[in-house]
Amino acid sequence: MANVRTNRIMKDLQEFMNTSLDSGVLLTDYDEVELKHFTVSVAGPVGSPYETGTFDVKIMLPMSFPFRGPKAKFVTQVWHPNVGAATGNVCVDILTNWRAGTRLAQLAEVVQGLLSLPNPTSPLNSDASVELEENPREFERTATMWTCVFAGGSKPRPDELQVKVLSVQEQLQCSEEQAVKKLSFARWNGPVNPHV
């Protein structure tokens, strides 16, 4: 079983290295000894609030791979209904309904596609999900702000939100990252929880 696992992972990683530059998904690190995990850098899709951001995603491979599917986790914090805000865990069908023939490059591309098409009906971040369903414009502004702050995005930050971030930073003596999180979970207009 170990040889099946190792051979399959090495084949998938080689395929990944040969094709990743064109897809906006780049293999940046992998466990060369036990092949338990690898990390990809995912470019935020053009036309999405994640555009210009770079998101690191860690993919963990079980010892029973490829017969049992991997787990994926955003290392870079992202405002997205299908990504756990605290954990970075990813919720996508390809992981739930894993098939042994699915390639790791396909998984990485699906994760990138998730940034283009968030699914509010299958949330891991219920706050982002509710915001997307009730106020898509506000969701886009929040996701853009998170992309700028956490993923190095260079899109213009929404001015009104930036003013609120600076106010909370001053009021609570906290970092920009902490202020963005507090305001996001308060839907940008409620009282902020100083413990978020």
* Crossing angle of helices 136-150 and 159-172, rounded to 10°: 60
At 17 the pLDDT is 78
Indicate which residues carry an active-site annotation: 91
What is the spatial distance between Cα 124 and Cα 177, in angstroms, rounded to a whole number?
A: 20
Q: Is the pTM of this model over 0.85?
A: yes
Return d(Cα 114, Cα 48) in angstroms, integer: 11
β partners of residue 39: 29, 58
Buried b (16+ CB within 10 A) or exposed e, 130-166: ebbeeeeebbbbbbbbbbbbbbebeeebbeebeebbe
Q: How far apart are CA 33 and CA 194, in angstroms?
A: 43
What local confidence, expressed as pLDDT, does residue 27 receive? 86
Residues of the chain with pLDDT below 70 are 1-2, 20-22, 190-191, 193-196
Q: What is the pLDDT of residue 91?
A: 87
**Structural contact between residues 141 and 122, judged by C-beta atoms closer than 8 angstroms:** no
Delineate the domains of the chain, giving CATH numbers in brackets.
4-116 (3.10.110.10), 126-186 (no CATH)
pLDDT, position 2: 63
pLDDT of residue 15: 85
